[in-house]
Structure 1
């Protein structure tokens, strides 16, 4: 997601999967996957001259949770990227952002434009509030990812304004 939208060459930590990842990375839903993020990605996107987003992407696996608190410090919000083939993988991220009272949107990743479940079915399955935006996207596509981030900024601004009113 970060790499598709960053206006600078993104810092990525994508590595080829090896035998060492067997038993650690669950490939049941993605048998053709041959790379994995080993730390985090970083990029930047200017939505306006005075609205610059610094983007941090981190895997959702438990072994990366230690850095989440540092990454959200100063954040206006977060995107939880959801793959409906591995729906359970998003629960820890949703819990994390809700526990820290950080606004988030759900990016429902539709590979090759295929939406396998209705948005309301996904909302019910992941048990999020009705006001949390769910946006369909292809995280590999710049414009699609940009729309998710615009939705996040708009939602986060409203969310923070309600909290300070």
Structure 2
């Protein structure tokens, strides 16, 4: 049974890698910069797909990861929201300004990148249909090595679980 589950997990990761873009660039909605995946080669990249609209759980998740990010220097934290720049700026105004300078919020217009990474949508939230909250972990080689897709607004990958996964993958 373990062999079957292990094979299914490997197949899932392989299928996810096939769909994932090899590179992408996103622009900051809270600053002037941008992020390109290719520039982070050699490090892990944690891509946090946050929900559209005002989301207090997204704020808590983002704050927690931003606060603890320095403890994982080999991981670049990327936070994406599909809202407009103005909506993201208003939402991000509730985050620490210094933390935002180190970890800006990037815009994923129309959840295009979420779709490219095959994050499922159809989740009803605040009167809108949005993609599920998710975290994708890209390895130092630029390929997806782990994904966590939440089943509800409060189902998120904690920083501690992310750190455990990075430690596990770093040993391989």
Q: Same fold (TM over 0.5)?
A: no
Please, what TM-score do these two structures have when normalized by structure 2? Answer: 0.33
* Higher RCO (CA 8 Å, separation ≥ 6 residues): 2
TM-score by length of 1: 0.34
